[in-house]
Structure 1
Amino acid sequence: MKKIIITALSLLVLVRFGYAQSCEQFLNATNGKKLVYSNSDAKGNQTGKITYSSVKKDAATISTHSEITDKNGKVIGNSDFDITCNGSSVNIDMRSFMPANGNKQMSNMQMQADGKYLSYPLNLSAGQKLDDGSMVITILNNGQKFGETHMDITNRNVVLKETISTPAGDFECFKITYDIRMETKMMGIGIPVNMQSTEWFSPALGRFIKSETYNKNGKLMGTTALVAIN
């Protein structure tokens, strides 16, 4: 009986040690740092930047503020969200996918998002199928609901492991493909949009390094890539 208790306690210590090792690596990788991404259109022309500023909130959470700027450096949107680590996966708040409101006609409107966490297992491997994600964005006009956008991320598949090079450096990543469906409803009228996306996710950083978005016909729409870590 004594041996069983000792064995159980030893296993518990190992589990806790493994949790600390995996999560601490993720938390320390971006704590106090700014990750700058460049957005480009299908022709490679820069359309803007996204800057993520992260601060460690507690032993399992990174609080992140994002600022989106256009090609002229003008701020067109921002948001706040959490990224957590539970010892087995990194979980990114779906609010990080909330688009910027760059439409001048809608500049006086507000957006509120409610969504799930998109999970990335710490033991990623080629051939894995990852959990889906979803989010609802409510558009408000003077406090009144004007419309809403439903966003679903499905068919997330880990394709392979490879090294990706960007101006920020070389990163060992997993290539992940998935489908995106967005439907915006305004005054009862729904406008669906279907896209496909490929991203290269870095387990060491707990973030994607590069992503490409394609329309339903497979034509490249745009690219986002990490260009600096400050």
Structure 2
Amino acid sequence: MNSKLFSVLLFLTGTISITAQDNCSKFYPMNEGVSMEYTNYNKKGKVEGVSAFKVVESNNTGDATHATMAINMRDAKGKDAYSTSYKLTCSGNMVTLDYESLLPTEMMEQYGDMDIEISGNDIEIPNELTVGQNLNDANVAMKISMSGINMNMTVDMTNRKVEKKESVTTTAGTYDCFVLYSENRSKMMMANQVYPSRVWLAEGIGMVKQETYKKNGELMSSTLLTAHSK
């Protein structure tokens, strides 16, 4: 369960998409029907699965644009492995992702009527990025009470910064990207793990590439954009 949450969280730090023609977002898709496909690889470059993203709803309220993104993950054999959705908002010069949306729907259904408390800070991606720029930390925390026993889970994204600019070539094309770095800490009960990551983000496209590392810098997994449609 915790690994699923962490994987989705990493996607959401920069995953996605296409410049909206009628709202304020540069890096996130906000138009209904926009879709992206990402192929996921293990540390040896072997395909582990494919993730499909699609904007299923979009609307404007005042000076803000709100959208819902659906995610479907399939394993290497094409079998559905996991599905969820999240909400994002664009207002002014900033796109924000609701921290509660980081908690997968199937996880919430699993705990049913249990007493659950959720708190956190939204993920923010400014429309204007520059090399050396520091980005605000983000986190989500969940406290579950079961028969007098409390279970806590948190995911913290710290040391977020725009590291550099770099050109990336995939089967979908060649893109000029900003490289966003973050350190991601996952805590659940006694488990405490830290995974640095980098996301290659292109204006007008969104996430083109992502790499996740062990604490010592060794590559754990990677993701590449393999298809997108307006």
Q: Which bin holds the TM-score, normalised by the shorter protein?
A: 0.7 to 0.9
Q: Flag the 1:218–1:228 CA change in 2: closer, same or farther, 3 A.
A: same
Overall identity of the aligned pairs, in %: 28
**Cα contact 1:25–1:204 (8 A) shared by 2:** yes
**1:37/1:99 CA distance change after superposition, 3 Å:** farther
Q: 1:140 to 1:51 in 2, by over 3 A?
A: farther
Aligned to 1:34: 35
Secondary structure of the structure 2 residue equivalent to 1:218: coil
Shift of 1:93: 3.6
Q: Which moved more, 1:39-48 or 1:52-61?
A: 52-61
Q: CA RMSD in A?
A: 3.2
Structure-2 change in CA distance of 1:38 and 1:138 (3 Å): farther
Partner residue in 2 for 1:218: 217
Q: Does 1:173 align with 2:174?
A: no
CA contact (8 A) 1:115 1:136 kept: yes
Task: Give how far 1:50 is off.
Answer: 1.2
TM-score, with normalisation over the residues of structure 1?
Answer: 0.73
Q: Could you list the per-position Cα deviations for residues 126-170 of structure 1 after superposition, in whole angstroms to 9, with x for gaps in the alignment?
A: 0100011101256799x9988442100000110112222222222
Structure 1 SS opposite 2:24: helix
Query: Is the counterpart of residue 67 in structure 1 residue 72 in structure 2?
Result: yes
- Checking the alignment, whether the CA contact within 8 Å between 1:22 and 1:87 is kept in structure 2 is no
* Unmatched runs of 5 consecutive residues or more in structure 2: 1-20
Q: Which residue matches 1:47? A: 48
Superimposed CA distance per residue, residues 43-92 of structure 1 (whole angstroms, 9 cap, x where no aligned partner): 00011111111134212122101111111112221111112211211223
Rg bigger for which structure? 1
Q: Give the AA of the match of 2:208.
A: I
TM-score (norm 2): 0.73
Number of aligned residues: 200
Structure-2 separation of matches of 1:74 and 1:145: 36
Distance 1:24 1:214, change over 3 A: closer
Letter in 2 for 1:221: M
Q: 1:134 aligns with which of 126, 139, 142?
A: 139
